[in-house]
Chains A and B, each alone.
Chain A
Amino acid sequence: MHQIFTVANKEFHDGLRNRWLVAITLIFALLSTGLTYFGAAASGAVGVASLSTTLASLASLSALLIPLIALLLSYDSFVGEQESGTLLLLLTYPLSKSQLLLGKFIGQGGIITLAILVGFGVPAMILYGQLGDLNILNTFGLFIISATLLGLSFTAISYVISLSVAEKSKAVGFSLMTWFLFSLAFDLVLLALLVGVEEAITPQGLIQLLMLNPTDIFRLVNFIGLDNRNVSGVLSIATNASLSYTSLFLALIAWVIIPLALAIFIFKKKTL
């Protein structure tokens, strides 16, 4: 346990030193404040937009940004240390592979969690202070928890990538491909199937397919409580179906644990 904490502490401090924490927090804070106050500008009004509109745009943008940030933060975690030789050295220490991996996960996951908590939490508190609507805290609370899980999921996915390749440049390439696949390509393919092939997928089947993509689960969590007009694309069909928060959150948690377990498995098999 002590070893995990030592590694986590180092990784967290690396995140502080590289200004990652500050940068991500600022991006999130600007995003949430901007969308809250100016999200309605498209419909001709400036001022606090409806919570529903704000959340819809915030979730759509975060579903793109958070995976990208998590992948960028962690893609070189292992391949970088492998290239510089410290990975081999660390493995000669009284430190198991899973301890090293979990330590890194806690440290880098901590950076993402803290950034999401502060970046989205503080604007939510301010908004609550202005409007006094308890609904704001509820909605943002759900948003923050699901966003954190999404971030952790992609941190774990980036470890799988970082452990599977031998060069940093390849890790960057695979990270970008992974991001593109989950954020854009997956939905496009689903949409094409829905529109192009008649009755190819039942609504129930669609929900099950969406569980294969953590960014879609994240968006579903934040869309099901919303006014339907603000949701477009594939998810508008899915949000009509009855879904429970519990099952969605369980699916998100699975998307954290399964890649993490896979990363540990790959690490154990890996020879240096």
Chain B
Amino acid sequence: MSSPLVSLVEAGKSYGQLNALNAINMSLNEGEVLGLFGHNGAGKTTMMKLILGVISPSYGKVEVMGMAPDLKEAWHCRNKVGYLPENVSFYEQLTGLEVLTYFVKLKSPTNKDSRKQAIDLLEQVGITEAIHRQVKTYSKGMRQRLGLAQAFINRPKLLLLDEPTVGLDPVATQDFYKTVDQLKSTGSSVILCSHVLPGVEQHIDRAMILSSGKLLALGTLQALRKQAELPVIIKSSGINYAIAQNSHLTQYLSNVCSNTLKVPAHEKIKVLKQLINMEGLKDIEIESANLEQVYQHFISVHELTLKAKDNGAPS
């Protein structure tokens, strides 16, 4: 087992009184895609900045490729890290090609043909036809693609993407996820930061949920689901009456819908067997809790504990 590509050990960052990030422990292996979720101000961007080495941790340790990223000695690693910031607007008066050539030159100074690499990257993100146009004429989606092209320079080993799919149309979003899958298969690690939860779950290996600088949950979606103990939703048709008669099943019955059962994950198979054996069953749908529900769960639990703390405080 090789050492992780990124590791944070009790790493935190505070700006004066404000605790932007509280003692975070996490690690990211090669070829792993981590989804980083949280509200605005949850500390997502702070964590990215720590990993990028733009800021230094107030306490704890951050290591990227075996080195502290804020050290000067770690600079050669920066060629191998790609970053897409949230809300970046590139030099408006330059053309897309000029912008990207500039960034390629800065990222790989030894590259003799930076223009060629820039053209290839722009083709990869699908804005070939606009490379000679000024960035100010670009749509939101095209700007986002330009930003992605910039992050993909040098086939990075580590990619940090802040809200990568904002402004992308569904086709472009699919293209983007395809690229992420492709990078993953070549051994790159990706940290995906997002509010937009649907669509992202098939592409991430693990999810990390942050709220007000605290780590609420970290693990595979399966593990998080288990931890959250969210019920599996089973919808059936044709057996409403039979369910209502069954005392074991009525306890799971949703009080809104007579054909919907909310079953704890460990009871799922048992209940399913029961349902399948019922006569008159026409159709059955099973829905496990999705990422959004898991996310909501952790956030609301966190908010409840915060409230309880506030109420309990003597002041």
Q: What's the least CB distance linking A179 to chain B, in Å?
A: 25
Q: B90 contacts which of A84, A95, A271 (Cβ < 8 Å)?
A: A84
Asked if B109 contacts A3 (CB within 8 A), the reply is yes
- In the complex, A88 has a CB within 8 A of chain B: yes
Q: What's the least CB distance linking B178 to chain A, in Å?
A: 24
Q: Please report which residues of chain B, range 85-108, place their CB below 8 angstroms from some CB of chain A when the two chains form the complex.
A: 85-91, 93-94, 102-103, 105-107
Q: Please report which residues of chain A, range 83-97, place their CB below 8 angstroms from some CB of chain B when the two chains form the complex.
A: 84-86, 88-96
- Docked pose: A271 CA to B18 CA in angstroms: 15
Asked if B106 contacts A92 (CB within 8 A), the reply is no
Contacts of A86 in B (CB 8 A): 88-91
Asked if B89 contacts A84 (CB within 8 A), the reply is yes
Contacts of A3 in B (CB 8 A): 106, 109
Asked if B78 contacts A93 (CB within 8 A), the reply is yes
Contact flag A94-B79 (CB < 8 Å), given A6-B109, A89-B85: yes
Asked if A272 contacts B55 (CB within 8 A), the reply is yes
Asked if A94 contacts B78 (CB within 8 A), the reply is yes
- In the complex, B150 has a CB within 8 A of chain A: yes
Contacts of A18 in B (CB 8 A): 93
Contacts of B232 in A (CB 8 A): none
- In the complex, A269 has a CB within 8 A of chain B: no
Which chain B residue has the least Cβ–Cβ distance from A88?
B85
- In the complex, B54 has a CB within 8 A of chain A: yes
Contacts of B81 in A (CB 8 A): 92
Asked if A6 contacts B89 (CB within 8 A), the reply is no
- In the complex, A229 has a CB within 8 A of chain B: no
Which chain A residue has the least Cβ–Cβ distance from B81?
A92
Q: What's the least CB distance linking B86 to chain A, in Å?
A: 8
Q: What's the least CB distance linking A74 to chain B, in Å?
A: 16
- Docked pose: A90 CA to B107 CA in angstroms: 9
Q: Is the interface of B mostly helix, strand, loop or mixed?
A: mixed
Contact flag A93-B106 (CB < 8 Å), given A271-B55, A272-B55: yes
Number of B interface residues at 8 Å Cβ cutoff, please give it. Answer: 29
- In the complex, B295 has a CB within 8 A of chain A: no
Contacts of B152 in A (CB 8 A): none
- In the complex, B76 has a CB within 8 A of chain A: yes
Q: What's the least CB distance linking B133 to chain A, in Å?
A: 15
- Docked pose: A175 CA to B105 CA in angstroms: 32
- Docked pose: A17 CA to B150 CA in angstroms: 23
Asked if A94 contacts B103 (CB within 8 A), the reply is no
- In the complex, B75 has a CB within 8 A of chain A: yes
Which chain B residue has the least Cβ–Cβ distance from A80?
B91
Contacts of A92 in B (CB 8 A): 52-54, 78, 81, 83
Asked if A85 contacts B103 (CB within 8 A), the reply is no
- Docked pose: A96 CA to B71 CA in angstroms: 11
Asked if B102 contacts A85 (CB within 8 A), the reply is no
- Docked pose: A163 CA to B85 CA in angstroms: 20
A and B contact pairs by CB, cutoff 8 A, 14 listed: A3-B109, A6-B106, A17-B93, A18-B93, A84-B88, A85-B85, A85-B87, A88-B85, A88-B88, A92-B52, A92-B81, A93-B107, A94-B79, A96-B72
Using A84-B90, A93-B107 as known contacts, list a sample of 14 further A-B pairs with CB atoms less than 8 Å apart, ordered by residue number in A: A2-B109, A3-B109, A6-B105, A6-B109, A14-B91, A84-B88, A85-B85, A85-B88, A88-B54, A91-B54, A94-B107, A95-B106, A96-B72, A272-B54
By Cβ-Cβ distance, the 4 closest A-B pairs, closest first, are A85-B88, A94-B78, A2-B109, A84-B89
